[in-house]
Amino acid sequence: MSERALRGTRLGATSYETDRGIDLAPRQTVEYACQNGHRFEVPFSVEAEIPHIWECRFCGSEALLIDGDEPEEKKLKPVRTHWDMLMERRTREELEEVLAERLEVLRSGRMNIAVHPRDRKSA
């Protein structure tokens, strides 16, 4: 192909294909509305599962399906703290025993605690 034929055609920006002779899949148009009062339509395939929530194309907030069922609330797991995970592995008596052992080691001086050089200067 000659370079002259492509000059000024904006390659990649424009498609030269047409929809002539092509049967498109059956579609349905669904309407959404956001909290800010924006209403817009989104085309979906007839076979597609329609989402209850869609991002508003005007402001980016969540838009709900008009004339649709309310979205199901997702079950949230309760937050597990470090203490909860620790109590899954040990009983309170075992923890008190471990604490007593560690305190004994600290008080006896058998544990070598390195002192940072910066801390020695200030002491």
Nearest to 34 by CA among 67, 71, 72, 65: 65
59 carries a ligand binding annotation: yes
34 carries a ligand binding annotation: yes
52 carries a ligand binding annotation: no
82 carries a ligand binding annotation: no
Binding site listing for Zn(2+): 34, 38, 56, 59
Binding site listing: 34, 38, 56, 59
